[in-house]
Amino acid sequence: MLILVGIALTMVAAWSLRYFSGVEPLTVLSKNYSQAGLGQIGLKASDAHVIGHERGHQRWRMAAQTVTFSRDRRSLTVDGIRNGVFYDVHTHPLISIQAAHAVWQTPLGALSPANAGTLRLEGGVLATVLTPEHPILRSQAVIWDSLRTQVISPGTVSAAIPRLTVTAGSGTYTLPSLTPNSKNAGGTLILSRGIVGVFQSRNGPATLTCPGLIWNSAQNAAQSQGPVKAQIPGGLGMATATDIQANTRTGDLSGHGFSGTLLLSTEVQ
């Protein structure tokens, strides 16, 4: 009887609040409730500095115009990113970053230093790899995989590396695992789908198109994947090849299975 009386009093109180003040207090218990004007916002801050931890290690930090923490504590939204930095497991700085927007989200559980999450950046992403070569990646969206120390661009990406500028349908830059006292010395850039690049060889610029390209920073070597079409340096004609290797330090260009047409001067002796 006491339980029934308590339920009855609760319902009467809720009805009275709704009738006299227009408030519906029991709606907060509904499954799809979100507060009017706030959506799923739990906490919002302006002109903030954010540090992301995964499994107890600092993995990224950035300054931002606004930061929004979701009500379910599973996602963090960052807008107007500047001075962003990605770190390895030993807190070595790997990549500097700028972007319009970022979301850090965990698949299960609330955000905490013990949970691994996915950081996705969107809107004019500019990533500079902090190696001696300082390769630069530009894309509309990238994903930071901190466990594999990879920057992944699922869509169109532009890359600028020594002597070579490239656009591709997608790309991944992987940095090596480092010891606590070592410095970031290189990485591997893998580009796929519709590669168009301009290589500054010792004999002049050469335009290359191919299905894929791999650049190894430690070896200063770019290797084509699949057949290649090339404009010969100096505008001397067009050629095809089964593969091409380019040394991004010396400017040497070589390959296998060449065939093509050379444009020679009429004053050949």
Interatomic CA distance for residues 24 and 5, integer angstroms: 21
Interatomic CA distance for residues 263 and 17, integer angstroms: 88
Residue 21, φ and ψ in degrees, nearest 5: -125, 0
Cα→Cα distances 21→17, 18, 25, Å: 6, 6, 11
- Chunk the chain into consecutive blocks of 10 residues (it has 269) and report each block's average pLDDT, rounded to whole numbers: 60 50 42 45 75 76 83 76 84 88 68 61 91 90 85 94 94 78 76 93 87 92 90 74 90 82 55
Question: How much is the pTM?
Answer: 0.72
Check residue 259 and give its pLDDT.
78
Check residue 22 and give its pLDDT.
44
Check residue 157 and give its pLDDT.
95
Check residue 41 and give its pLDDT.
52
Q: Which residues pair with 223 in a beta bridge?
A: 214, 245
Check residue 159 and give its pLDDT.
95
Q: Are 222 and 203 spatial neighbours (Cβ–Cβ below 8 Å)?
A: no
DSSP, res 187:
-
Check residue 240 and give its pLDDT.
86
Interatomic CA distance for residues 4 and 39, integer angstroms: 35
- Give residue 182's Cα distance to chain centre: 24
